Chain A
Amino acid sequence: MYAFAYQRPTTVRQVQSALGKHEDAKILAGGQTLLPTMKQRLASPSAVIDLGHVAGLSGIEKKGRNIVIGAMARHAEVATSEVVREAIPALAALAGGIGDPAVRNRGTIGGSVANNDPSADYPAALLALGATIVTNKRKIAADDFFQGMFTTALEEGEIITKVSFPVPAKAAYVKFPNPASRYAMVGVFVSKKGSDVKVAVTGASNEGVFRAAGLEAALKGKFNPKAVEGVAVDGSNFIADIHGSADYRANLVSVMTKRAVTKALGK
């Protein structure tokens, strides 16, 4: 790890001002991606701004028809939250499957969403549930937020404070973990609310998380696993590595979608 200045602000305003003062500052939420990157000297921030003591970033609550989760909510909190388990069990299950138990005790939803790792789980949930990302400056729809691998709509000095999820009628997330890293090699989140069906896919694409229009159209017609059969998944821009070629990942998108639909139907 390279040397850095450590900052421990207590308000969002102080975070913003620290970000202004230090060029190349990094925000430390749970640190489960940032710290390994820094340890391998792949990142060299001049300052690390710890959100651990910033007020107003925690908490999980039901607000009207939405579940609102503070940016610093740990994966383990979301996984075990009665509020989330009651309203969107698929989201609790997703959080309960990120990394491993020790990682879930540190990693945060805000950190995961802001990083937009192409193999992260949360981005699929945000897209498929039509979540809204709330920052210190504005509200951003998930569809506008994720802009490709490690790229988001966040501007300089902008930090995520919470994420708001509309409650779906049915939803499920099924992932195929990379056998080595256990990150999502393909993760598919499906949701249904009224006639609206959303399917978001993480892990597969070079562009990061995306919504699968063809699968959504087929499932709008009939929300059952059979509907997925015969929908061609275009793997032309999929990630290809030693663990899986693009066509293998394309196959996994179909299979995981079927399984997610089955699960969403409670079968």
Chain B
Amino acid sequence: MSATGIGAPVRRKEDFRFITGKGQYTDDINRPGQTHAAFLRSPHAHATIKKLDISEAQKADGVIAVLTGEDLAKDNVGGLICGWMIHSKDGSPMKAGSHPALAQGKVRYVGDHIAVVIAETLAQARDAVEKIHVDYELLKPVIDMAHATDSGSPVIHDVAPHNQVYDWHLGDKGATEAAFANAKHVTKLDIVNNRLIPNAMEPRAAIGDYDSGQDAFTLYTTSQNPHVARLVLSAFIGIAPEHKLRVIAPDVGGGFGSKIFIYAEETVCVWAAKKVGRPVKWTGDRTEAFLADAHGRDHITHAEMAMDDKGHILGLRVKTKANLGAYLSTFSSCVPTYLYAPLLSGQYNIPAIYVEVEGIYTNTAPVDAYRGAGRPEATFVIERMVEVAAREMGQDPAAFRRKNFIKSFPHQTPVIMAYDTGNYGASMDLALEMADYKNFGKRKRDSAKKGMLRGIGFSAYIEACGIAPSAAVGSLGAGVGLWESAEVRVNPVGTVEVLTGSHSHGQGHETTFAQLVSDRLGIGIDQVAIVHGDTDKVQFGMGTYGSRSGAVGMSAISKALDKVVAKAKKVAAYALEASEGDIEFKDGRFSVAGTDRSLAFGEVALQAYIAHKFSGQDLEPGLKEGAFYDPTNFTFPSGVHICELEIDPDTGVTRIDRWTAVDDFGNIINPMIVEGQVHGGIAQGVGQALLEGAHYDANGQLVTASYMDYCMPRADDLPNFDIGITTTPCTTNPLGIKGCGEAGAIAAPPAVINAITDALGHEQIAMPASPQAVWRAAQKSLHKLAAE
């Protein structure tokens, strides 16, 4: 391993600009002559707009334009789309209601966009928004997803008369029923996966710019996938053809899924830039982020698991209602279906699984992918089920899991996925040792002496990452392929630029991707620049989400590097006057086998460009190669997390005492960065379990619309984390990488809740397990103890 190659904990190249305040986030960019946009948002969850009077706002100080849904319609600007078609059990397509960027006659959630004011200053734009007068006819809102499809419920979209988007299923119903018929024990659980608000620290922002000389648009936006934004804005919304629309996603301050989607605000900014003839800038504030960023999770599930008398799992059946909010966001439809149900086999050998999922409209913000996207929901179901099953059957939860682990690979589950490799027992062994499981009983007794309830909880998770084989997702309804592209440009002096379709917004690609290049070409990472986030520079790409940048994005770079090396060998052969087959490339030098003749990588690059040695031969000058990589399978990171915590029954305060995470991510490029990803994921998972929950009141007002009420994990809510690694390299991509970005968020929630229920001695606790909720649950435990 070289100092900057694969496997080295290289310090991040991008950090210098961030620690010196020189990052360039969208709001840090100012365009000459720019104007400022502010949106009028619906204060009501469900209403028709009887009259929209913008005349007073138009006359307000500094106002340049006030634009509404009517203007969008006049300009034939299309609505926002959902790019994944789901078909119901009966074969009918999902019922996608129209989603105009500015409301056309109806508003469907608090925060829905009605009009935009464009003014000289932001303060003026905001002042003028208050001068728009709207005459609403209020409609009864649909907030509670459990009853949204009841007959007589108000209708949110005419295309979906019962507020049902789809009624979908996966698996073998007959085989699953047969498994339950043979069961000796059945575990049943009602499970709620709480609604979350992503809260990347950088609020979304956009600047639309129009160059009339070129008749071309530029959009600066907080995006995880600028090419997908351009594709949607061009092909579906109709802003401009792709060659006339440049999308730049500069430094982006976190995404976690919420910046994948194409939103109303950036659509309006880029469209309005041409209308007003000046750049239009919008920067969301945190309140707007709470109201109108796509939320995550929000499932209600009933699950049943069948076991034989020894505790072998025979079958699983799951029925889930998934809240999709008021409109279908960009990828929302696939999250509770294909990103959820295929993960319900977990790490276990389960012969039969049947899953039913109902997608439901409510008058709440759209719900889409949030870190983990479907996989945390699945993991929460399966890991709560196995924990409760073990307890009910009087078995140790670790032993129960181990008994049911898949032990031979490849393994085909009954729900689509074919796991290529893994060693779940190895992760369990290491986790138990690191967590000092054998002495847990003593620690529990020590806590009891202090009047505290101590519990331990497991989560043996699996995720499907490296999203995704194009043919596979296409057959399941995806509107796009999910390959990745890369271009490696070697400069004549031997420095390298890598253009990638992946986008870094905290993941450290500028470092890890450079490490791959350093490793392959034998040059220092300071000789490598990673270029991303600009559709004019990078030809195409599918962006960063689903822990795909390592497994898919770097595989594309790897392929391009293979081509660079192959061509460089040809150049070296001419330069060294040897036959190509005799050229060896090692540690950055091309040499002729069995001789001392060699050239450094940079020298060969120069030869490639001056082309003196092979002019007129069948070899083109230059050294630049591109590659598209389409994965052949998902990757399957897995691991075991163990949470140990202590509850103060007097207040319900839960303190995590120790956290053990053992993960198998396949091969690792930079362990420092991987650990950082795990830390952050766990924090979000602990947030879901203990702290975070979006709450709408019965009128559809978002009660948790600021950090005053939405409980973000802070430094003193969390412990340090003990991280362990086991490795089974992925067998289906050239680097053996599985991906690490979402693992913590997937693993953590069931580990926490399993620990709390262990401490409480009963299963009645919902997420977030807030102090109040735990206190109430602890009173039940105390009563139970007193009665015994």
Contacts and interface: CB of A to CB of B under 8 A. Distances in A.
Interface stretch (A63-71, A199-207, A240-248): A240-248
Given A242-B704, A243-B772, A252 B651 contact: yes
B703 interface: yes
Interface string B693-729: 0010000000110011111101000000000000000
A252 B707 CA distance: 22
Contacts of A180: 691, 704, 707-712
A255 B127 contact: no
Interface string A1-38: 11100000000000000000000000000000000000
A176 B710 CA distance: 17
Contact of A179 (B123, B703, B771): B771
Contact of B703 (A1, A242, A245, A251): A242
A40 interface: yes
The prevalent SS among residues of B at the interface is: loop
A113 B652 CA distance: 30
A182 B652 CA distance: 16
A2 B127 contact: yes
Given A1-B123, A179-B691, A248 B772 contact: yes
A183 B770 CA distance: 16
A164 to B, nearest CB: 32
B775 to A, nearest CB: 6
A195 interface: no
A96 B691 CA distance: 24
B651 to A, nearest CB: 6
Nearest to B124: A3
Given A40-B287, A242-B703, A181 B651 contact: no
Interface in B666-703: 691, 695, 703
Contact of B711 (A40, A179, A252): A179
Interface string A220-241: 0000000000000000000001
Interface in A160-180: 176, 179-180
A252 B775 CA distance: 10
B650 A255 contact: yes
A255 B708 contact: no
A12 B709 CA distance: 37
Contacts of A181: 707-709
B48 to A, nearest CB: 26
B776 A248 contact: yes
B683 to A, nearest CB: 15
Contacts of A2: 127
Given A179-B770, A255-B651, A242 B127 contact: no
A41 B130 CA distance: 11
Which of the four size classes fits the interface of chain B? 20 to 34
Interface residues of A, number: 20
A250 B711 CA distance: 22
A242 B695 contact: yes
Given A2-B127, A248-B775, A242 B651 contact: no
Contacts of B712: 180
Contacts of B704: 180, 242
Contacts of A182: 714
A238 to B, nearest CB: 13
Contacts of A183: 708
B708 A251 contact: no
A82 to B, nearest CB: 27
Contacts of B287: 40
A161 to B, nearest CB: 31
A41 B129 CA distance: 12
A96 B563 CA distance: 62
Nearest to A256: B651
Given A1-B123, A242-B695, A242-B704, A251 B775 contact: yes
Contacts of A251: 650, 775
A226 B708 CA distance: 34
A3 B128 CA distance: 13
A243 B770 contact: yes
A243 B772 CA distance: 7
A235 B770 CA distance: 20
B778 to A, nearest CB: 11
Contacts of A3: 123, 127
Contact of B772 (A1, A40, A244): A244
Contacts of B775: 248, 251
A175 B357 CA distance: 44
A245 B287 CA distance: 25
A183 B703 CA distance: 17
Interface of B: 123, 126-127, 130, 287, 650-652, 691, 695, 703-704, 707-712, 714, 770-772, 775-776
Given A3-B127, A244-B771, 12 more contacts: A41-B130, A176-B651, A179-B691, A179-B770, A180-B709, A180-B710, A180-B712, A242-B695, A242-B704, A243-B709, A248-B652, A255-B651
Nearest first, the 7 closest Cβ-Cβ pairs linking A and B are: A180-B711, A181-B708, A255-B650, A248-B772, A179-B711, A244-B772, A180-B709
18 contacts: A1-B123, A2-B127, A3-B123, A40-B287, A179-B711, A179-B770, A180-B708, A181-B709, A182-B714, A242-B695, A242-B709, A243-B770, A243-B772, A244-B772, A245-B772, A248-B776, A251-B650, A252-B651
Interface of A: 1-3, 40-41, 176, 179-183, 241-245, 248, 251-252, 255
